[in-house]
Structures are given as structure tokens and as C-alpha cells.
């Protein structure tokens, strides 16, 4: 690649074609001004050609390299005088026996100077690709050391209609690595879980919407602090369900900007949901040991923490470009596409780490609260004792969903029970909105009845058959 410029000068032409063993390519001079997009393709007969007419881009090429005008302008501005595209065949992966190069081929692109951080990507398209159930990943050579290290930095992988396109923002050597699908889940399980989730999320959204309607038009003026926190949780969960249901459809549109947007929205509402689980537990904690009314601007501080904390994480992810297309593979080679965090390690550290902190706190508060409920002894007769047991049972079940403990089935599921955990998580969390609506209705009714008894001067013994301030 370092000799492309001298090779072009030796031919005395503005364009020279290269054919040496398994190496083929083309090098052409760049005009000093008025740059245009450059398109170079490999024909089905294995020849290299420069495509002058944009209408011919989709015909007759098995591989296609599209270099934007921005790259040519940058090259000329940095004393680059040519563009060279060279295809190297017979390339084999040495470090990882589980992956291999598509067509055993790599593509080198050089413009006589360093080109990076392009806003319009260089697109390398491979047509009529049969992945045979493997996962495709666009890679670039890191340019360090004698042994080539292929990394994903600066390149995105885009698949559609049997073609794979590498969208890269810099120049170097490029290749597509194919690796076997991990087969974490079978196709039948994926279809079943998708079906359950679609129904459950739809029902959850309906009941969450009903609860929000009831709150805004009926109970907003007399809502307790606990109800206000619960309503914020409802808003986060409703938006999370909505973004999740629309995610795959937006991913299939192929619009990268829309994909990043829906991924950011879903990630924000996911973290916001976790945060409001934490706020629910924190409110319970304050009710057990300290009355919230003693804290100045209590609800304002709760709301700021609940909505701003996840926003900081999402803004950082947007700035670092962590949102991208994500392909979920099944054991039979099929796949589903969604918009999410492209880096699995980042997802593990941030999302699972974030939930782990929330889970530890909420689970501790759950155990403490359940202990308070179980140990509390009513001072009335047997009939009232049975009523108290029923109400306390509702409280315990409601708390289980209110504090988001069901999410642990997915986030901490490993080993042979992983698929079973997925089913438990999907069923419980898909219908979480319904269960929380029942909890909201029951708690609102309970608070209303207790207040009515207090105003009428009746005995307060009944209102004390549950943990004090549990619904306040």
C-alpha cells in the first residue's frame, strides 16, 4: 500500500489497475479541486472498475467501496494526491479459530495521508452474502505491531437483504469477520418469549394508562407522597414498555438516527424505572425511621434524583456513540434486530451494575418491611385479624412488584436455569403494570377509607392493622 503513489507515477496514467496473484485493486489520481464521491467495485466476473454513473451502483458488483467527497477533500487538504483500493484474497484468521474472514478477504484503502473522524462514512458493501448462521462483524486493522489486530472501533455493521455494509469513519485495512452464533436461546423460546412480552407489555400499558388517568382526573388533589412516587414510576414504566414494543420496528427501518434515538429513550426509561424502584424503597425507609415531612422540599428532591440521574448516564452514552444496532441470534441461525447498547461489556457493567445496587437496597428494605408486617399484632378480634392478614398479604405481594425485585430473574440468571429464569422474568415483568395497578387501586382505597374513619372520629385500631405509613 505504501508504493501505490509510485506505482501510479510509473504507469504515467491517471488511473492504474493492479493484478498481482491474489491481490487486485485500482489507484487513481485525485483532482486538485471539485472533489466528488468515488465508487469502486468488484464485478461478478472478478474484475475491478471505477463506477462513474451512480445508477450502476446496485448492479453487477459483488463488492462495492464508496468513498465520500469529504474524504477526498480532507486528503487533498493534507497533500494527498491519490486514492487506492486494494482487495487481498487468501487472508486467514490466526488468533481465533472460531472466526474467519468473509471470502478470506481484506480491503485496504489509502489516500496518501491519514484520514479519520469522517462525518460521512466510507461504505464497504458485500452483496449476496451467505453467513450460514454466523454473526458478521466489521473490523479494521489497528495499525500497530507486526501482527494484525482486528478491532471494531470506528466501524458499524449494517445488514440488509443479504448484503453486509461496513460503515467506517477512517482509512486502514478492513474485513468482515464471521463467528458462530452463541445460540443462547432457541428459536421457539425466542418466539414464545416475544409473544408473551407483546401481550404483557400491551396489557401493562393499558393498566398503567388507566392508573395515570385516574390519578390526573380523580385523585391528583388528594394524592399522598407514596402515590406521587408511584405515579412517577408508572410514567417511567409506560414509556419503557412503549419504547420496547416499537424498538424492533424502528430497527428494521434501517435509519441509524432513529435507531439511536429509540435506544437512548429505552435506556433512559429503563434506568429511570430502576431509579424509581430505589426511590420507592427510600420512601419506605424514611417512613419506617423518619417521617418524610421533616425533610425540606422532599418531593422535589425525590423527583430530581429520579429523573436526572439516568439522564446523566444516557447523555454520556450518546456522546460516546454507544447506541447501535444489536442482533439477537438463536440456535438455528435466525436472528432478531433491535436498537440497544452495542458493547456487551458496557451493558454488563452499567446496566447490571446499576440494577445490582438498586436490588441490594430494595431487597433489604423489602425484608425489613415484611418483617414489620409479619411481627405486627392487631389488637382486635379474630374477624379483624383475618382481614388484617389479607391486607398484609396484598401489601407484601404489592411490595414485591413495587420495588422491582422481579427484575432479578433476568439480570442475575445464569447456568442451566437461565431459560427458565427468562420465562419467569418475562411473565412477571410483562404483567407488572397490571399488578401495580391493583396495588395502586387497593392502596388508594385503603388510604381513603382510613382517612374517612379518622375524620368521622371512629376507632383508629383498624387503620393500624398494617405497618404504619405503608401507603402514606
pLDDT digits (tens, 9 = 90+) for 321-376: 888 887 776 655 556 778 988 777 788 889 888 988 999 998 998 888 888 877 76
- Domain identity same for 258 and 172: no
Average pLDDT in the 443-470 region? 44
CA dihedral 256, 261, 262, 263 (to 10 degrees): 80
- Domain identity same for 228 and 372: yes
- Domain identity same for 154 and 208: no
The secondary structure element, H or E, covering residue 368 is: helix 353-375
Tell me how far apart the alpha carbons of residues 86 and 89 are, in angstroms, rounded to a whole number.
10
Q: How many CB atoms lie within 10 A of CB 9?
A: 13
Nearest 5°: CA angle at 365, between 359 and 368? Answer: 140
- Domain identity same for 292 and 402: yes
Residue 232 has pLDDT above 90, yes or no: yes
Please check whether residue 75 is in contact with residue 5, taking contact to mean a CB–CB distance below 8 angstroms: no
Q: Which domain holds residue 41?
A: 4-179
Of 163, 179, 195, the residue at which a domain comes to its end is: 179
In total, how many domains does the chain have?
Answer: 2
Q: What is the per-residue pLDDT across 51-103, written as a single tens digit (0 to 9) for each?
A: 876 655 656 788 899 999 999 999 999 988 889 999 988 877 655 556 788 88
- Domain identity same for 140 and 264: no
Tell me how far apart the alpha carbons of residues 200 and 430 are, in angstroms, rounded to a whole number.
4
Q: Is residue 472 part of a domain?
A: no
Residue 204 is predicted with a pLDDT of 87
Residue 314 has pLDDT above 60, yes or no: yes
Q: Considering the chain, what percentage of its residues have pLDDT values greater than 90?
A: 19
Q: What is the per-residue pLDDT across 130-182, written as a single tens digit (0 to 9) for each?
A: 877 677 888 888 766 556 678 888 888 888 777 899 999 998 889 988 876 55
CB < 8 Å & 24+ apart, contacts of 384-389: 384/461, 384/462, 384/465, 387/465, 388/465, 388/466
Tell me how far apart the alpha carbons of residues 422 and 127 are, in angstroms, rounded to a whole number.
36
Q: Is residue 470 part of a domain?
A: no
Of 179, 199, 229, the residue at which a domain comes to its end is: 179
- Domain identity same for 449 and 346: yes
161 torsion bin: left (phi>0), alpha (psi -120 to 50), beta (else): left
pTM of the model: 0.65
- In CATH, what number is assigned to the domain containing residue 58? 2.60.220.50
- Domain identity same for 432 and 361: yes
Q: Is residue 471 part of a domain?
A: no
Secondary structure (3-state) at 20: strand
- Domain identity same for 130 and 200: no
- In CATH, what number is assigned to the domain containing residue 225? 1.20.1070.10
- Domain identity same for 316 and 196: yes
- Domain identity same for 34 and 172: yes
- Domain identity same for 361 and 315: yes
Of 179, 198, 233, the residue at which a domain comes to its end is: 179
Tally of residues, the chain: 472
Amino acid at each position: 500500500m505504501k508504493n501505490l503513489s509510485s506505482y501510479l507515477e510509473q504507469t504515467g496514467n491517471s488511473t492504474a489497475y493492479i493484478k498481482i496473484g491474489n491481490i487486485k485493486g485500482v489507484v487513481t489520481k485525485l483532482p486538485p479541486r471539485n472533489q466528488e464521491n468515488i465508487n469502486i467495485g468488484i464485478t461478478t466476473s472478478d474484475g475491478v472498475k471505477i463506477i462513474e454513473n451512480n445508477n450502476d451502483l446496485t448492479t453487477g458488483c459483488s463488492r462495492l467501496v464508496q468513498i465520500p467527497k469529504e474524504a477526498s477533500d480532507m486528503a487533498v487538504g493534507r497533500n494527498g494526491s491519490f486514492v487506492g483500493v486494494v482487495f487481498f484474497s487468501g487472508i486467514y484468521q490466526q488468533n481465533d479459530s472460531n472466526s474467519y474472514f468473509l471470502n478470506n478477504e481484506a480491503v485496504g484503502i489509502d489516500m496518501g495521508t491519514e484520514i479519520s473522524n469522517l462525518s460521512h462514512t466510507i461504505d464497504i458493501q458485500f452483496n449476496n452474502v451467505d453467513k450460514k448462521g454466523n454473526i458478521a462483524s466489521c473490523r479494521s486493522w489497528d495499525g500497530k505491531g507486526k501482527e494484525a489486530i482486528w478491532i471494531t472501533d470506528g466501524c458499524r455493521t449494517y445488514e440488509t437483504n443479504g448484503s453486509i455494509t461496513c460503515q467506517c469513519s477512517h482509512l486502514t485495512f478492513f474485513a468482515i469477520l464471521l463467528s458462530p452464533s452463541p445460540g443462547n436461546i432457541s428459536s421457539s423460546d425466542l418466539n414464545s418469549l416475544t409473544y408473551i412480552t407483546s401481550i404483557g407489555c400491551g396489557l401493562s400499558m393499558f393498566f398503567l394508562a388507566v392508573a395515570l388517568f385516574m390519578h390526573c382526573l380523580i385523585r391528583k388533589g388528594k394524592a399522598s407522597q407514596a402515590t406521587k412516587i408511584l405515579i412517577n414510576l408508572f410514567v417511567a414504566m409506560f414509556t419503557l414498555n412503549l419504547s420496547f414494543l416499537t424498538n424492533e420496528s424502528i430497527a428494521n427501518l434501517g435509519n441509524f438516527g432513529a435507531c439511536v434515538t429509540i435506544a437512548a429513550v429505552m435506556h433512559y426509561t429503563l434506568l429511570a424505572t430502576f431509579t424509581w424502584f430505589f426511590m420507592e424503597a427510600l420512601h419506605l425507609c424514611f417512613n419506617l425511621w423518619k417521617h418524610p415531612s421533616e425533610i425540606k422540599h422532599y418531593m422535589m428532591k425525590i423527583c430530581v434524583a429520579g429523573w436526572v440521574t439516568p439522564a446523566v448516564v444516557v447523555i454520556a452514552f450518546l456522546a460516546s456513540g454507544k447506541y447501535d444496532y444489536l442482533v439477537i441470534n438463536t440456535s438455528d441461525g435466525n436472528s432478531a434486530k433491535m436498537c440497544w447498547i452495542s458493547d456487551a461489556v458496557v451493558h454488563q457493567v452499567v446496566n447490571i451494575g446499576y440494577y445490582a445496587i438498586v436490588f441490594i437496597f430494595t431487597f433489604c428494605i423489602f425484608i425489613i418491611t415484611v418483617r414489620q408486617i409479619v411481627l405486627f399484632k392487631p389488637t382486635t378480634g379474630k374477624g379483624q385479624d383475618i382481614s388484617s392478614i389479607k391486607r398484609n398479604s396484598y401489601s407484601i405481594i404489592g411490595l414485591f412488584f413495587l420495588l422491582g425485585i422481579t427484575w432479578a430473574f433476568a439480570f442475575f440468571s445464569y447456568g442451566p436455569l437461565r431459560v427458565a429464569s427468562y420465562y419467569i422474568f418475562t411473565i412477571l415483568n410483562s404483567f407488572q403494570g397490571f399488578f401495580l395497578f391493583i396495588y395502586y387501586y387497593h392502596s388508594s382505597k385503603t388510604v381513603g377509607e382510613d382517612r374517612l374513619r379518622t375524620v368521622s372520629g371512629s376507632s383508629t385500631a383498624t387503620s393500624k392493622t398494617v405497618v404504619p405509613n405503608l401507603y402514606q
